[in-house]
Amino acid sequence: MKTKTLILALVLVFSTASFAQFKLPKNLLGGGGDDDKQEQSSGDITQIQAELLNDVADALSEVTEAQALIADAQGNAEKAAQLRNTSETLKGGANRDEAIQGAVQTVKETAEEQKAVFSASESMSAESKGLYAKALLPYVKSVAKTAKLKDPVQDFLKEAQNEIKSIKNPMQIRKMQKSLSTGIFVGRNVPVLIGSLVKSSTDLLSFAKSNDLDTSEAKSMEL
């Protein structure tokens, strides 16, 4: 009896060792494989998006703050208050994705409105001249900062589109499109916005110079 028990125990030991030596592949029942790779890849691109949106929000916050100074110089207190509120929202982080998309539109519309005043080339009053002098450098500096994001946002757009194309599961495609929607929006719209901002900056510099403001430091900024 003892001999049979000993033999049975030895058989179990060797069977367990053999099973451990020849493990089943992880993806035999669907674990690992492409799904794991997609999860890792999506994690990478969502992190890239988060960092990019931080940079975009930071740059747009500075632009709207500078546009508020120009609105003050143009006697538009209501617009100035709106722009400062937008700037604070971008800094705060609450509903940031919505804030970024709204800010892109607000900044673009404001740039066009303010550029129309620059292009009119009217003489500044003494009060507005002082306010324009205060706004000049911050505006050009913030535009230069935003312009540096042109390549990163375009590169992200390409990466996001490639990431979505690589997914085969329709439900995962929709999920990824939703999670990357703000980054894709930024990639499509910020380059156009940068063009408007650069043009408005050059018009502002011309307007300031025609009114005898010192533009030397602002002109040194690379747009």
Question: Does residue 202 register a pLDDT over 80?
Answer: yes
Token pair 């929202």 is found at 89
Return the closest-CA partner of residue 73 out of 223, 199, 208, 220.
Answer: 208
Could you give phi then psi for residue 88, rounded to 5 degrees?
-65, -40
How confident is the model over 129-170, as pLDDT tens digits? 999 999 999 999 999 999 999 999 999 999 999 999 999 999
Q: Indicate the pLDDT class of residue 215, thresholds 50, 70 and 90.
A: very high
pLDDT of residue 49: 96
Q: Specify whether the CB–CB gap between 160 and 183 falls below 8 A.
A: yes
Q: How far apart are CA 117 and CA 121, in angstroms?
A: 7
> What six digits make up the tokens of 104?
């892109």
Residues with Cβ within 8 Å of residue 174, at least 6 apart in sequence: none
Query: Which pLDDT score is estimated for 22?
Result: 33
The reported pTM is 0.79
Look at residue 7 and tell me whether its pLDDT is greater than 70: no
pLDDT over threshold 80, residue 10: no
pLDDT score at 146: 98
The rounded distance, in Å, linking the Cα atoms of 12 and 16 is 6
User: What are the pLDDT digits (tens) for 38-67?
Assistant: 444 555 999 999 999 999 999 999 999 999
Res. 29: pLDDT tops 70: no
Query: For 62-92, what is each residue's pLDDT tens digit?
Result: 999 999 999 999 999 999 999 999 999 998 7
Stronger pLDDT, 10 or 113, i.e. the higher one: 113
